Amino acid sequence: MEKIYIKRLLPVPNRSFFLFGPRGVGKSTWLKKTMGDALFLDLLDSSLYLELSRNPMNLEALAGNIPEGSWIVIDEIQKIPTLLDEVHRLMEEKRWRFALCGSSARKLRRGGVNLLGGRAVTRNLDAFSYAELGGAFDPDFSLQWGLLPWVQLEKENAADILDSYVNTYIKEEIKEEGIIRRIPPFLRFLKIAGQLNGQLLNAQNISREAMVPRSSVDVYFSILEDTLLGHFLPAYRPGLKVREQTHPKFYWFDPGVARSAAGLLFDPIDRIWQGMALETMIYHELRVFNHTRERNREIFFYRTANGAEIDFVIETRKRQPSSVPHIVCIEVKLAEKWNRSWERAMRSLKSSDNIEVNGMIGIYTGKRAYHFDGLDVLPVEEFLKRLYQGNIF
């Protein structure tokens, strides 16, 4: 049976680029579908890996006499960081364009490589999005099991796929990084990090619960971030006359992978977990839209010392000497009915003279859309529809 291909939103740049993303999100498939005329070199091929490791200059011979402007795709580029010196030379001398694919830039940076000094742009590919799945998008299933391509295309095997993803692929990825001597402490950390999805981080508490040094916690989180398995969401600090939270939150890139890391695949998940999974899914969609549409807007959360919180704050215009910053506020609730008290933090921020709130949006799991005095309350799918229509930011 022919495999189903879901068209991705990410456009191909017109110049050389790095393509990063977590394992299993379809980077190689996307490259083959969108760059079918390119020369493909996969460094998972052991013979090719050995050849180019020993003699990177063979890259030119492998390309032959292809014309100026031709594309060469190198998959798993992080396996041979020194190959980038040769790529750089061929970009300059032959005017060839390169698509350089990998799951982490960490090994490239650690190898002293400068990522071609700006000669190649960076693009990220993530798990499937609402807009890519279209009519096949199932919010209830995605909340429970996530948006990994394997999971979405083989829904009956979701639990087994996610179990294998964490216990096989993530372990392999971490071993590839080559900076963790012992895997068991990292796996203890991984379970706790999964359970803390979408929450404020206290590294000292994590260190104690995982029984690992405090310094290791920072290293472990940096590995998750560098391999794009998770993202820090920074606190927004507009400098109002209140004490504002400064510590970041950490979100896994996918609610299903977070569930697997937490060890909850084979247990029913409670309402609190589902609420964090909904936030994770919304954050994923915000990031995908922001990247694929090249909005390049910073995304934050906002929280005051007395606990007033806004899940997502998108800065649509930065502060300048003659103008205040402009933002859009989003509050996410796993609830069938909207409670007007959930609007208070957004409305409080809007009342400030030092900031311009261009939009206030509540997302909930009910069925009807409402408009309350400048604030839109939207069902999940209605919000996602408006997001990809460009009507949110």
What secondary structure does DSSP assign to 49-101, as a single string?
HHHHHH-TTHHHHHHTTPPTT-EEEEETGGG-TTHHHHHHHHHHHT--EEEEE
Provide the domain count of the chain. Answer: 2
**Which residue, 64, 89, 124, sits at the end of a domain?**
124
Strand extents, DSSP E, 234-342: 249-252, 298-303, 309-317, 326-332
* Token digits of residue 27: 């980077």
Could you tell me the mean pLDDT of each successive run of 10 residues in the chain, 393 residues long?
78 96 94 94 96 96 96 94 93 96 77 70 96 96 97 96 88 70 86 94 92 92 90 88 80 97 94 97 98 97 87 96 95 98 95 94 98 97 98 98
- Domain assignment present for residue 100? The answer is yes
- Domain assignment present for residue 33? The answer is yes
Q: What is the residue range of 212's domain? A: 130-388
Shared domain for 140 and 114, answered yes or no, is no
- Domain assignment present for residue 10? The answer is no
Shared domain for 141 and 290, answered yes or no, is yes
Phi, psi of 250 (to 5 degrees): -125, 125
**Which residue, 103, 124, 145, sits at the end of a domain?**
124
Q: Which amino acid is at 20?
A: F
The b/e string for 24-35 (b: 16+ C-beta within 10 A; e otherwise) is bbbbbebbeeeb
* Token digits of residue 224: 């998750």
Shared domain for 192 and 59, answered yes or no, is no
Residue 1 is predicted with a pLDDT of 40
State how far Cα 109 lies from the chain centre: 19
Closest CA to 83 of 72, 70, 74, 92: 74
User: pTM score, two decimals?
Assistant: 0.93
- Domain assignment present for residue 233? The answer is yes
Shared domain for 142 and 109, answered yes or no, is no
Instruction: Tell me how far apart the alpha carbons of residues 141 and 221 are, in angstroms, rounded to a whole number.
Output: 28
- Domain assignment present for residue 9? The answer is no
- Domain assignment present for residue 339? The answer is yes
Q: Tokens 């979100």 appear where?
A: 251
| Dihedral in degrees, nearest 10, Cα atoms 162, 166, 170, 171 | -140
Residue 242 is predicted with a pLDDT of 67
CATH of the domain at 82: 3.40.50.300
Shared domain for 186 and 271, answered yes or no, is yes
Q: Number of helices and strands (H, E) in the chain?
A: 17, 14
Instruction: Tell me how far apart the alpha carbons of residues 22 and 224 are, in angstroms, rounded to a whole number.
Output: 10
- Domain assignment present for residue 11? The answer is no
**Which residue, 76, 95, 124, sits at the end of a domain?**
124
* DSSP state for residue 146 in the 8-state scheme: -
* DSSP state for residue 323 in the 8-state scheme: B
Shared domain for 80 and 213, answered yes or no, is no
Residue 281 is predicted with a pLDDT of 98
How long a stretch of residues is the chain?
393
